[in-house]
Structure 1
Amino acid sequence: MDQPSLFPVICQEPPEPIHVPISRWLLTVYSRDILSRLDHIKASITSTFGSILKMDSTKKITKKLAGHGRGTALWLTSISNEVGQVLTSVLTVQEGPGLDRMVSGVMERYRQACVTAPVLLYVDCGCCVSEGESKLQTRFAQWPDIHIRLDIWHFMRRLAVGCTTDAHPLYTTFMGCLSACIFEWDAGDLSLLRQAKREQLRQEGVPALTDLLVDRRITKKELSQYCRRRTRGEEGTISLIEQLLQTLEGPKGRDLMGVPLLEQVRMEHIWRVQKRHVKCIQDVPGVQLYTVTGTTTTKGGVVLTRYRCARGSTSLESFHCHLNRFIPGTSANALNFQLYLLEGLNRWNQDRGTAVVTSKPSSLLTYAGDVVQCLVLESCLVLTTC
């Protein structure tokens, strides 16, 4: 740029482009890295236990199985604990007898580790039968004291089938009222949250504070974080659901165009069949479903405690939604399929374990157990030397 403008500017020739590895090479290196840590990954997964278990199956992930393994597995079934960590995840041809070896392996793991058997198991089907023992009770025969409960969200979805369409204006109201028929909020937690919200609104200068205004300003997220819930009992739940269905079968169950929310004949049949499962969705007396996360929040000068709920299989449903992200692309052969699944499952468990003790993400940028162990040993050595 310092040369006179009459002379041409001489620029240095650009360097030769660097050869970029192809995607197949990168996947090969990643697979070999997983194979080098396979023993640690398997040990980490098989060292996971829990007192409240959830079991669920999905067919979405098996569609990515390609090569010679295509069509050899139709179901992926997982068992997780109360904090969302996965104890085991297996591929089977069918959902019934194909799970016997998986369940036997989990029970044997508890026995060898001398860990107390879980007290509660949430499932999406097969919770009870009218006579004798269910298949799940027979499958978990080594744990005779375990309580098998139906996931409440699946129970609500079964009743929702009796609606004409989920696009009906009253559908959301129906699901909310159905939830209120099943659950009731803890009076002490709700009173404390109302007090905190009232003080917060008063500090913000909101005039004419009434109980109705305070309740409207409380969000669903605040309720789920700071308030505990419990089921209403079998008789109370049945009575409230029947009252709700009778109300919505009348004029109050129609939109402005006169379209009814409920298919009356179909809903009557569904409720007649699902009524016996109301007993299966009740909380087990004496089983603690809520744990304190260890963090508190101050709103309006009132200290609120955060709770984590272990009820239902929502965490396992979330895990299955993330399974497709564990396996890149649209297909993988049998070896890569299992490698990606193991690595993704191990990372999922580590993230859930970190979330139990802190609300902040982990400062470590690696999931390799040997690297983390080496870092811990070096840190301890430095502290000892100092």
Structure 2
Amino acid sequence: MDSTKKVVKKLSGEGRHSAEWFTSIGNEHSQIVSFVLTCEESKEKLEPMCSGLMERYKLAGQPVPSILYVDRGCCRAQGPTAVETLFQPWVDSGMVVRLDIFHWIHRFDAAIRTESHSKYATFKSAIARAVLAYNRSDLELLIRAIKAKDLVAFESVTDEDVVRLYITRDQLKHHVRRVTLGAQETFRLVHKAIEELKGPAGLDESGVSLFKTPEAIDELWAAQQRHLECIQDPPDQHMYRVAHTTTINNVDLPY
């Protein structure tokens, strides 16, 4: 479930300026199953869409979703969150509300001076690697498929070099799942990346720091630590589905 103002800005004609928010809900197949345009992002305005969606699932005989990923309103401070209240019947049936990883990573932009900074990509990549890693068995199978093209030629090439030099980004994206590293490891790696880039490593060619101030990134990081458990993959939950099988050099790979 995601809300944005970008789509609404594209409205023209009589509909221009008639709404502020576009809120959509997508399923596990990347299909938008419901959306609504509203003048405010409130429980009152979103309730008809949410109750209507739950009724659709009920009438279609579909099971209650196990996870709802949101861009905000995930972790309880006191009592149920607004999102949990909107989907109370599903929550009562076992659905959990989790923070979407992409939105968690995007929150760090609030402490960054500008996205055009030369160290911006380095920092965001470090944050992503602190949360997600490639599934080892999937990666080994892809490496084997690449090496199968010429076993003799690849005999002296390390697996690391195969990944770095011969495997494309699309191949990694479609054939290798990514898994979360756990809250403790994510904390360690994010903290390490921030501390390194608060120093000389975080300066551009003109000596300008990536972060607005050291205090700004420290305050933001302290606030986001409460979500470290929330962004981890739930245990025993299948986060991917096999669409079909493809063959590379006579080795079958899940897509």
TM-score (norm 1): 0.60
Larger radius of gyration: 1
Q: SS at the partner of 1:222?
A: helix
Change in 2 beyond 3 A, CA 1:213/1:150: same
CA distance in 2, matches of 1:74, 1:261: 32
Of 157, 169, 186, which aligns to 1:209? 157
CA distance in 2, matches of 1:164, 1:74: 27
Q: SS at the partner of 2:30?
A: coil
1:245 alignment partner AA? I
Of 78, 82, 100, which aligns to 2:24? 78
Residues 111-169 of structure 1: CA deviation (Å, up to 9, x unaligned): 22332111111111111232221111111101121111111111111113322222222
Q: 1:114 and 2:61 equivalent?
A: yes
Of 294, 297, 301, which aligns to 2:247? 297
Change in 2 beyond 3 A, CA 1:298/1:207: closer
Percent pairwise identity: 38
Q: Hey, what does 1:233 align to over in structure 2?
A: 182
Q: Hey, what does 2:134 align to over in structure 1?
A: 185
Report the Cα offset of residue 235 of structure 1.
Answer: 1.7
Of 203, 225, 230, which aligns to 1:280? 230
Report the Cα offset of residue 177 of structure 1.
Answer: 1.4
Number of equivalences? 249
CA distance in 1, matches of 2:147, 2:71: 40
Q: Hey, what does 1:270 align to over in structure 2?
A: 220
CA distance in 1, matches of 2:98, 2:150: 40
Q: How does 1:153-172 map to 2 (within 5 A)?
A: 153-172=102-121
Q: SS at the partner of 2:230?
A: helix
Q: SS at the partner of 1:165?
A: coil
Report the Cα offset of residue 175 of structure 1.
Answer: 1.3
Q: Hey, what does 1:254 align to over in structure 2?
A: 203
- In the alignment, structure 2 segments of 5+ residues that lack a partner are none
Q: Hey, what does 1:26 align to over in structure 2?
A: none
Task: Give the aligned CA root-mean-square deviation in angstroms.
Answer: 2.1
Q: Hey, what does 1:10 align to over in structure 2?
A: none
Report the Cα offset of residue 275 of structure 1.
Answer: 1.2
Q: Hey, what does 2:171 align to over in structure 1?
A: 222
Report the Cα offset of residue 188 of structure 1.
Answer: 0.8
Q: SS at the partner of 2:90?
A: coil
1:66 alignment partner AA? G
Report the Cα offset of residue 199 of structure 1.
Answer: 3.1
TM-score (norm 2): 0.89
CA distance in 1, matches of 2:19, 2:189: 43
Report the Cα offset of residue 208 of structure 1.
Answer: 5.1
**Alpha-carbon contact 2:146-2:248 (below 8 Å) kept:** no
Q: SS at the partner of 1:79?
A: strand
Report the Cα offset of residue 246 of structure 1.
Answer: 1.3
